[in-house]
Amino acid sequence: MEFIPLTRTFKYCPACGGGDPSAERGKIECARCGHLFYVNPAVAVGVILRDPMERTLWVVRANEPSKGMLGMAGGFVDAGETLEEAARREAREEIGVELGELEFVCSAPNYYRYRGIEYSVVDCFFTAVIADFADARALDEVAGLAILERDAVDPAHIAFPSMRAAWQAFLHR
């Protein structure tokens, strides 16, 4: 399937309704009214969860993209939400755990391909320690859970390039 960049999906100017706006380098410009609409990346979060023994908890993705691959609890940041609030909300929604202190690991660019459209994303990654993984369960958009020792994580099984970059940054911190 060919994926279309988001900027090429606009057929009309979002300000005046004029047809066929031009798109380049993350912005859409209307020839009729001159309106510039900037298509900035969406923001998402992911959390590398670990227990006191430094084992890591991974989700197994239930949906495309990357269905069946390892992922980190996380998702898109909602309007009005901080990165930390989004990380905590996503952990509750996906695996039913409450997170305490979050430590920033890194950010990385990503592209999220959904229903034929490619969205630019900036993924922001944190790590957090939870007492144990006993209360974690596969909930929203999660097919299963995997508890892995650090050296047992195969980067080829991690869902997205940005998550692989975050895993490497986490290992080398």
Domain identity same for 74 and 28: no
The torsion defined by the Cα of 78, 119, 101 and 146, in degrees rounded to 10, comes to 120
Domain identity same for 89 and 157: yes
Least confident window among 26-30, 78-82, 123-127, 158-162: 26-30
For 158, the domain range is 42-171
Antiparallel, parallel or unpaired: β 4-5 and 117-129: parallel
Q: How many domains does the chain have?
A: 2
The whole-angstrom separation of Cα 109 and Cα 172 is: 19
Domain identity same for 28 and 59: no
Task: Quote the percentage of the chain above a pLDDT of 70.
Answer: 99
pLDDT above 90: residue 14: no
Report the CATH number at residue 96. Answer: 3.90.79.10
Domain identity same for 88 and 46: yes
Place of tokens 């239930």: 62
Nearest to 8 by CA among 31, 19, 17, 24: 24
Q: Any alpha helices (H) in the chain, and if so which ranges?
A: 83-95, 161-171
Question: Helix, strand, coil % (nearest 5) of the chain?
Answer: 20, 40, 40
Domain identity same for 96 and 148: yes
